[in-house]
């Protein structure tokens, strides 16, 4: 079934749910063939859609948004989320992502959130975002302040990192100063790359541990800081390890937002062996074409990355200008723990004429270990509902 077919099917289902929702609440739970569910539960639907345009020069490896010489419109994301409150302390949440105009369809989150009576402990059970660091919690287009994300998030942190398992979280302390914890036992990845190594069912006999401990201060100046750690195996024999550690901090005061994060990854390199059929003559095929060529690719486990970001938002709230925001971010990615650094400077201006609609513009300056010209600009329109 194609992504477009799935998209149309789900949109039709959403329309019918919205059309008959009031009737369903008033009737018995056996409604149009659905013999489960509570007529007292309340369901919210939310989501966002964005359209991006990016243009990068022809040299260099590009970015997470595009390769060298790329210039294109991209209906990058459409997220549809549903939250159903079963009772005051139990909520079910599901979130589906349609990427690149529906060419990729993913269930990003599907979990039950259960707040225990003492409120110092809550559980997420299902598929949720990995509790690691700061950036993953605010990466979605309506929340992040630039069109792009720091480069290391794709190279080291599995991009939009969600996993399946059990997550315990909560806080201790007063209203002004409190400690926080967020710890999960999950299946873990199947390798070291973001695009292909996510999984829903475990391929190993060992679970992965991911967690963050932090401290929050709520006052005229809001401060949040924390440390994160993740450990697990990714091969079927449970012998290849990957370990991540990181620290993060954020300071907000009025319209000012300052934040930064450092992440380091270590472990066992991943070796990928592929067989390809070649029709090339000697010396590629010594006995004549066609022949099978075995290629071995090694993905290094070691690497680290850091970014610092500063922004200031002018909340004008006048006719035609809801807010204007200036953003600057500097990030550094070191892919193998050596000195072949890749740095990116991103300068952005965000303009919101109304609430829940924002136009982002960004100019990106990229520097690789080899001198190339791979700068570019990005434009994104985001609407959330």
Per the structure, the complete domain to which residue 253 belongs is given by: 41-384
pTM over 0.85: no
Instruction: Cite the beta strand spans of the chain per DSSP E.
Output: 42-56, 71-87, 90-99, 104-115, 122-129, 162-173, 177-186, 208-217, 222-233, 241-253, 256-267, 270-278, 291-299, 303-314, 323-334, 342-354, 357-367, 376-384
Mean of pLDDT over the chain: 85
Q: Residues of the chain whose pLDDT is less than 50?
A: 16, 19-31, 62-66
Query: Same domain for 16 and 157?
Result: no
| Statement to judge: residues 176 and 310 lie in one domain | yes
User: Does 62 lie in the same domain as 30?
Assistant: no
| Claim to verify: residue 30 and residue 87 sit in the same structural domain | no
Q: Are residues 291 and 371 both part of a single domain?
A: yes
pLDDT tens digits for range 201-212:
777 778 999 999
Task: List, for residues 272-322, the tens digit of each pLDDT value.
Answer: 888 889 888 888 888 888 999 888 888 888 999 999 999 999 999 999 999
Cα separation, 354 vs 134, whole angstroms: 27
Residues 128 and 150 in one domain: yes
**pLDDT tens per residue, range 38-75:** 777 778 889 999 999 988 765 555 444 445 556 888 88
d(CA 312, CA 293): 54
Structural domains in the chain (count): 2
Token look-up 């090694």 returns 298
Give the pLDDT of residue 23: 39
């Amino acid at each position: 079934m194609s992504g477009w077919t799935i998209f149309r099917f789900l949109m039709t289902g959403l329309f019918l749910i919205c059309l008959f929702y009031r009737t369903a609440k008033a009737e018995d739970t056996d409604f149009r063939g659905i013999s489960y569910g509570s007529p007292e539960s309340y369901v919210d639907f939310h989501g966002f859609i964005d359209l991006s345009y990016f243009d990068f020069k022809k040299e260099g490896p590009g970015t997470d948004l595009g390769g060298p010489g790329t210039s294109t419109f991209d209906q990058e994301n459409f997220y549809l989320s549903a939250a159903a409150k079963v009772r005051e302390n139990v909520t079910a949440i599901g979130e589906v992502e349609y990427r690149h105009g529906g060419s990729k369809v993913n269930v990003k989150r599907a979990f039950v959130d259960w707040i225990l009576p003492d409120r110092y402990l809550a559980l997420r059970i299902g598929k949720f975002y990995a509790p690691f660091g700061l950036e993953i919690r605010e990466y979605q287009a309506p929340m992040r302040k630039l069109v792009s994300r720091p480069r290391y998030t794709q190279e080291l942190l599995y991009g939009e990192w969600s996993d399946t398992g059990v997550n315990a979280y909560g806080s201790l302390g007063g209203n002004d100063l409190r400690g926080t914890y967020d710890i999960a036992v999950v299946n873990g990845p199947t390798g070291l790359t973001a695009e292909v190594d996510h999984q829903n069912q475990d391929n190993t006999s060992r679970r992965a541990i991911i967690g963050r401990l932090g401290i929050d201060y709520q006052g005229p100046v809001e401060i949040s800081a924390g440390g994160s750690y993740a450990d697990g195996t990714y091969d079927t024999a449970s012998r290849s390890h990957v370990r991540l550690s990181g620290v993060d901090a954020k300071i907000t005061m009025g319209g000012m937002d300052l934040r930064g994060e450092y992440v380091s990854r270590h472990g066992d390199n991943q070796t990928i062996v592929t067989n390809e059929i070649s029709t090339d003559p000697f010396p590629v095929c010594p006995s004549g074409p066609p022949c099978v060529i075995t290629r071995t690719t090694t993905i290094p486990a070691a690497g680290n990355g850091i970014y610092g970001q500063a922004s200031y938002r002018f909340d004008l709230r006048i006719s035609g200008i809801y807010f204007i925001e200036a953003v600057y971010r500097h990030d550094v990615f070191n892919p193998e723990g050596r000195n072949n650094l890749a740095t990116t400077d991103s300068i952005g201006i965000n303009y919101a004429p109304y609430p829940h609609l924002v136009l982002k513009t960004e100019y990106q300056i990229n520097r690789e270990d080899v001198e190339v010209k791979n700068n570019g600009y990005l434009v994104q329109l985001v609407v959330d509902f």
